[in-house]
Structure 1
Amino acid sequence: MSTNKHGNEDSHLPPISDGHDPATETEGLDLVGVSSDREETAYAWDLATGTIIWEENAASIIGVNDIRQIETGAAFHALIAPEHLSSRLEVFSRSASEGDRTRGVPYRIQYRLNPGGLRSRKTVRVEDHGYWWPGPDGHPVRARGVIRLIHERELEQQRLLIHSDLDELTGQLNRIRLTEALGTVLSRAERDRTSHGFLVVAVNNMAVINDTFGIETGDQVIAEVGKRIRAKMRGGDIVGRYSSNKFGIIMMNCGTAALRRATDRFVKVIRETTIKTTAGQLAVTISIGGVVIPDQANGIQDALNFALRALDAARAKRIDCAVLYEPESSGDIARVRSKTVADSVISALDNNRMRLALQPIVSAATGKPSMYECLLRMQRPDGQLIAAGDFVPIAEQLGLARLIDRRTLELTVELLKKHEDLVLSLNVSGLTCADQEWLTALRRVTEGRKNLLSRMIVEITETSAIQDLDQSIAFVDTLKELGCRVAIDDFGAGYTSFKNLKLLNVDIVKIDGIFVKNLADDTSDQIFIKTMVDLARTFGMETVAEWVSDEHSVKYLMDVGITYLQGFYYGMPIDADDYKKPQPPSGSGSFVGLGS
């Protein structure tokens, strides 16, 4: 524990009030209230802007040539060893309580830095400790800390930290740290649009060596192979022991051609000389499987699986060689896309990047919006919005539908609370019809308030409704008891009989847009819609025509008695944040659609 010139111990970081802004301290910066000694420096980090203000000695302490190399959080993180970056990010990713806004949240962590960049062999170990303060949402907005060098004399005291990083036999990263490093590199590759390589190297015939000469000899072989591979790696590349006879190698900034050259080096260095063991000189060979990331794999599991698949192909050749992964079929591409979608959806849910767009559903009688359908959008980290049709079908197949429906419910209720004039409809998947937890969540987020529930319409698709009719009937009945209305969506796309439609006892029937888009020219569609409207009226149900896009269709639909119209003719979806309560028209004109 260090002591400053005033005799205060440890981090010397007194709490500051919520109104204090460390980023304004630009002259005579003394972030910790003391002059740092030659082994430590201090910083103030504004997480909102990413700016870091350092104490004057920071460049010399950390070992960078220019303080501008570490003047942002992103730039500093780029110098942290991949196996340790996630640990530091976790410190600043959790939320804090109201009381922590004044006293701050303490943190203390140790990690390895590469001051010359990840390709450099120069490394230092540091201890980073301080306080961070949360904003209104409970997440960090600023931090003040001290970075202290850890020297060789302390490494023995830090044995447990080192042991948690390294494999005891080979001295390389263990599987856990190797996997964490791979995840960090993948994230950076996505952000920086760079290519890297991931290799799995297997020592051949280890079972024979262990059976013939003993496990101790086998361990000597594995340790020597790891040492030789390390010697042929470039600065900044990462190697770890993946399993008993396998190593994983992360090749930084490495395309396909460079990856092939690297595998040739590794194969040659093992093949060219024998390995000395206590049992004598042994000839050993290796096989290698590789994959280019994130081009061919943008997730940890895909990178591992594809590299192992390529390794199997290399070992099947029965010679020491390397094989780089190539997609075998459209199925491989589909698996990669599914994994990408799943990762994106989970990230968006975890980071509150799901958004709602609202499309008006217009009353045929008044020509004005009576309600709005909530259309889900996923916002990527770069701000781009992805329509539900591009991710929901895959997400449903991967079992993420319930999570998506839960978040859609929360966003819908937030809007209903914000705008007392809004009536909203939201879609739920077939799985949610059997999800009692969703109904529990509905009661919880609405607090049972009838003024919210009565302005909510829950849409279930025809195809999901008929999969388990009894279950769907019970779901509809529960919603109506709570005070919601229920609509059956995409009616006509499946095979629901009119009898089943009556049993479901929904309030609204939404006619599938496939019967509407060619309505002006297709007499069979005209007959179907007229029949459907008449039948719904008999059952006491309202009707909505989807995909309305032209004036001729509007006229026919109104003539046959449709209740509501929805489509681009009456309005494109708008961001929910842009919704404003419609103002009464200045004249006597009716609502005018986009197509007018």
Structure 2
Amino acid sequence: MSRPAHARRLDIYVAFAFAAADVLLEIDKDGQVLFAVGAARALLGWPARVLSGMRLDDLIAPADHGRAAAALATMARGERVRNSSVSLRKQDGSVSPGLLSGYRSPDDSTHLLVVLGHSSCSCAPLERRLAQSGLLDQDSFQARTRHLLDQDSSDAPYVLTMIDLPEIPRLRQQAGTEQTESMVAAIGAYLRDHSIGGDTAGQFNDTTYGLVHDSNLVRDDISAAINDIARQTVPDGPPMLAKTHSITLDVADASPEEAAAALTHAVTGFINDGGGGTLAALSADLQPRMSDAMTRMRALRRLIERGDFHMVFQPIVDLWTNTIQHMECLVRLGDSDATPFDTVTFAESMGLAGQFDLAVCERMFAMMRQGPASDPALKFAINLSGRTLTSPDSTSRLRRLLDGAADLRGRVSFEITESAAMGELAAVNALLQEIRAKGFPVCLDDFGAGAAAFHYLRELKVDHVKIDGLYIKNALRSGESVSFIKAIVGLCAELGISTTAECVEDPETANLLKLLKVKRGQGWYFGKPFRPAHMAAADTKTPWVTAQTSWRNGLLCFVPPDGNLGRLGAPSSR
């Protein structure tokens, strides 16, 4: 005896719940809901029974109707849509982030089976988009791709299509900025609508775009669509012939995190290196670059897990009293004393900065509780990458670590490094205020270099600023550098922020900085990074004595070359 149709339909829905969905819908070719089941009230505010007869557009915010329509068209062609980001419209009129998935019904080719589900803020990555195209920037593209691969259960490989539009600069000159931006926005909308989940399309520079899609979409169709968009939006402009090249992402042996990070690292590395100037060159070069990136990533993971690094320390000296205010903790890999700048930069680009930073924190906290760093008179500054402060996993671990470090309050501060520019400054500032409230001061490192600009002091409330060494090195020769230092010191004084100068190499520079009212100095004049000497466990003072340091009045102090110790241990007058 055959089972009734509604029983077969329920079987379909049960089998279809691959995404742990909240609401399962069957809709017809016109987008009308024929059947609904699931926790619709929790997701949308309506009970499931009320959804029958409504249109899918009634459940989607108007701004995402185009994206939803593109997803339905994809399903109607027999292709599966997985986790397309949409804004869901609730019964009370409010909007919340959601995911749309689905495919064509196996029983009726005119019907579609659609899933509406939650988009968890704790799991979905933060997104930063470029203003003109609306496409993800490099970091967000990597995070979104990693999130996609982590959730995907399909055995079918994804495809990366790179799109090169070399005529954009000429078009901007001939047709003007307004028309060009209109075209770029339309191209961005097309790429988003045809990417996996609507969010795996990125822009790498002014003329090069990337799209991760399934194998049903072919690059010739992408080229034709972009050429049509150019003709429609800029009819009088020069021909816009899109150059495309597709690469199957064969990363079966990699974890989702490794695959996504290696992909982004390989593509951006290719572009930054010049890459031979052609997409064909990228096709030949991409897989070796990805393999190399994954090999380096796994090696770095092993290094972090084994703790195969050691700490060296460089003094930060009060210019007015010669007391060593604290030591900056610097990482060295293996047995080498060379700076690991390339490794740290690679860790940031591959999403490993947080793991590295937190491993250093744990090592230092252990040293400060037992061993030569446990002397209560010693204070230390630990570096945190800007990327660490924008990673949900890393920030959660950091909070837990600091919650268990009440015994180190007043002895630990954090320097926020700018080798990776920070986004989401409001969220970063909220975290910094949590850190400060727990008793750990915060310093903004390399101020004046790269991404660190004056607006950071408006967005981030910190205790200290470290002036970039470029201005300090030139201070004795450049009036402009002196003016810049004066401006920083004056602004910081108004904001109640103390200043430290990097790269102080001689007594003349140190004296000039005092005249400019800089509070502290760091550099080879005060001492190179060093490892404390190995002594008996109970001796916490001798290991820190060098040719340039000495204990006086219970404080570790800098010993100038002339031996004039000055008012060692006296309170600073500035």
TM-score (norm 1): 0.41
Higher-Rg structure is 1
Taking structure 2 as the reference length, what is the TM-score of the superposition?
A: 0.42
